[in-house]
Structure 1
């Protein structure tokens, strides 16, 4: 679960900025765990220690969040309350979350192209900020290694589809640092280009739920 350029067209900037802001409680650029530093395996894919943190149960679930199906259900319910708030205060067209509980950014992006920043972040004037924060606080624990491998597969796919400068994610101190533009402060990748959009469409399924927009 982001979390940062997530200059580009206004539509691209809005969608990525909104996705990152929605992860206030779970920083997009640091999907942290209590693991140690990154290690390199023989196949060149970095990995993190699999030692559980003190806040985890034996099955790896965060005890404070209930773990398993219960945690996912609580996350979905809280996310649905955020969606209902957005529908009431911003637009009735705000889409349902996915069954996983994560927001459906494909649909939200299309809505943003029509409505702009009114549907970004927690809505115009932070109308639904308390609901947003509640939902993000209930996000089930993520598997850092799987998140890293998902982002790595996405980065490789983007390069294979013509976005040659797209960089790999990195593991650092048990956190995932997304890849993407090698110079976010002065973007080298034109996200409004037809080639980029085609690659993005072709590679979107490489990213796990909750990672779309992270890189």
Structure 2
């Protein structure tokens, strides 16, 4: 998802992970889940524990009760991704000059509604990708390194449904996503270099609200 920092439309922060491009692109819209609920507080939420196996009991000795050997752990893949995202968010708050940077969703992806809202504030878009002076770039790279593999067909279908919904709701020039080299490429503005869609117009915002449910977590914020 590719973006510029000088216009509202490109401040939608399209992730470049789909085209294997710059590191500064948030691969956060970075976990392999689909739709995940966002946390409501501004504190970092704990990742949910998930049992990996049923608790087992060791044979009792000398009449003592059997010992429970089971232990709850988070799924390895999503756990690493979520934890890396939490570290990135903490960096953005502590060093990146965004103390109110939103929690990641439990799926591991960022809450793009809140990130975009924060980045749309006057003078606050330039550092929204990796913090002031890219101070959180190492943490962002760590997130990208452990992001679970994205289902490109599912991503394409989600973005296609979203694009159709946007047109059905009055944004007639909203373009479809495409597939290139097995990767889903976001649609949206027909000319991102010189945007023709007004993201601030009441009509666009209304369509955006109506079509938000069409995007799964892994592609939220891409188009």
The TM-score normalised by the length of structure 2 is 0.68
CA-atom RMSD in angstroms: 2.8
> 1:81-120 alignment to 2 at 5 Å?
81-89=87-95, 90-114=97-121, 116-117=124-125, 119-120=127-128
CA-CA distance at 1:111 after TM superposition? 2.2
Secondary structure of the residue that 1:81 maps to in structure 2?
helix
Determine if contact 1:15/1:120 at 8 Å carries over to the other structure.
no
Q: 1:131 aligns with which of 121, 136, 139?
A: 139
Determine if contact 1:94/1:108 at 8 Å carries over to the other structure.
yes
Gaps of 5+ in 2: 28-73
In the alignment, what sits opposite 1:55?
Answer: none
Kindly name which structure, 1 or 2, has the bigger radius of gyration based on alpha carbons: 2
Distance 2:16 2:180 in 1: 19
Q: 1:16 aligns with which of 13, 17, 32?
A: 13
In the alignment, what sits opposite 2:208?
Answer: 200
In the alignment, what sits opposite 2:171?
Answer: 163
In the alignment, what sits opposite 2:155?
Answer: 147
Determine if contact 1:87/1:93 at 8 Å carries over to the other structure.
yes
In the alignment, what sits opposite 1:57?
Answer: none
Q: From the superposition, tell whether residues 171 and 100 of structure 1 become closer, same or farther in structure 2 (CA, over 3 Å).
A: same
Q: From the superposition, tell whether residues 71 and 144 of structure 1 become closer, same or farther in structure 2 (CA, over 3 Å).
A: same
CA-CA distance at 1:27 after TM superposition? 6.6
Alignment of 1:172 onto 2:169: no
Distance 1:82 1:134 in 2: 8
Distance 1:212 1:158 in 2: 14
In the alignment, what sits opposite 1:214?
Answer: 222
Distance 1:25 1:180 in 2: 22
Distance 1:91 1:98 in 2: 18
Alignment of 1:80 onto 2:86: yes
Secondary structure of the residue that 1:116 maps to in structure 2?
coil
Gaps of 5+ in 1: 30-67
In the alignment, what sits opposite 2:62?
Answer: none
Determine if contact 2:9/2:195 at 8 Å carries over to the other structure.
no
Determine if contact 2:163/2:176 at 8 Å carries over to the other structure.
yes
User: Comparing 117-126 with 158-167, which one deviates more in the overlay?
Assistant: 117-126
Q: Number of residue pairs matched?
A: 172
Secondary structure of the residue that 1:176 maps to in structure 2?
strand
